[in-house]
Amino acid sequence: MSKEELKRVSDSKTTRLVKKGEPIFKEGEKLDGVFCVRDGVSKLSKLSANGKDQIVKLASKGEVIGQRSVVAEESVNLTAVAVSDMEVCFIPKEGIVSTLHTNPNFTLEVLRHMAHDLKEADDVIVNMSQKNVKQRMAEAFLYLKKNFGEDEEGFLRLVLSREDISNVVGTAIESCIRIISEFKKKGYLKTSGKKIGIADEKALNNLIEGF
């Protein structure tokens, strides 16, 4: 983006604090801008007919949410809720839309980003439909480690409730709990309070590969 554009965006953006559990936007709303995550993590989920949420993506620092809706000029198809206390900045759509029309490099950048999201979504589809719950659980933990890291003691930085985990994996809470305790017993995971740590990454990988 040109300096001028950058300045315009930077002038018009506003930051906002969102407490854990609070929504940033909800399915069906119309957004007049996008949000950029400054700090914290947000879950992007969708309510299904049976009343359960499915978490489709977790967005953290540096990620932009709501672009799909702004780009397509449609209402949002996902609900964004803070999983930890967050700081987000809001960028109104006017600036974005006009830049999209005039600056091909910016548009291309957004396009590449969306291409990446789409690929990830395809992978999720395959995982959801072809892998069993244990394998999906294993995937989820490795994903959490890869994307959010571990603390000094080897526990996952991002702490999710069992319910959130089951909404990522697409299973009943009880199944999720049982599998965590099974993994713990087998030495694949360790826990401390709500914190979960990966103890045997290789075993989890083997599980996913079907060994």
Residues of the shown chain interacting with DNA in the complex, contacts defined by CB under 7 A: 50, 132-134, 161-163, 170-175, 177-178, 180-181, 191, 194
CA distances 171 to 20, 37, 58, 134, 144, Å, are 23, 28, 17, 10, 17
Interacting residues of 60 by C-beta distance below 8 A, sequence separation 6+ = 37, 40, 41, 42, 147, 148, 158
CA distances 105 to 34, 100, 102, 112, Å, are 19, 9, 9, 10
| Interacting partner of 181 out of a copy of itself, DNA, none (Cβ under 5 to 8 A depending on kind) | DNA
| Interacting partner of 191 out of a copy of itself, DNA, none (Cβ under 5 to 8 A depending on kind) | DNA
How far apart CA 21 and CA 70 sit, in angstroms, is 24
Residue 129 Cβ vs a copy of itself, minimum distance, rounded to whole Å: 3
Which chain residues interact with a copy of itself by CB under 8 A?
46, 48-50, 52, 54, 56, 67-68, 71-72, 74, 77-78, 100-105, 107-108, 110-112, 114-119, 121-131, 170, 208-210
Taking the least distance from each CB to DNA, the nearer of 15 and 161 is: 161
| Interacting partner of 84 out of DNA, a copy of itself, none (Cβ under 5 to 8 A depending on kind) | none
In the numeric block, the tokens 């109104």 are attached to 92
Residue 153 Cβ vs a copy of itself, minimum distance, rounded to whole Å: 31
Taking the least distance from each CB to a copy of itself, the nearer of 153 and 209 is: 209
Taking the least distance from each CB to a copy of itself, the nearer of 89 and 100 is: 100
| Interacting partner of 103 out of a copy of itself, DNA, none (Cβ under 5 to 8 A depending on kind) | a copy of itself
Q: 161: exposed, middle or buried (C-beta count within 10 Å: 0-12, 13-18, 19+)?
A: exposed
Residue 66, sorted as left (phi over 0), alpha (psi -120 to 50) or beta, turns out to be: left
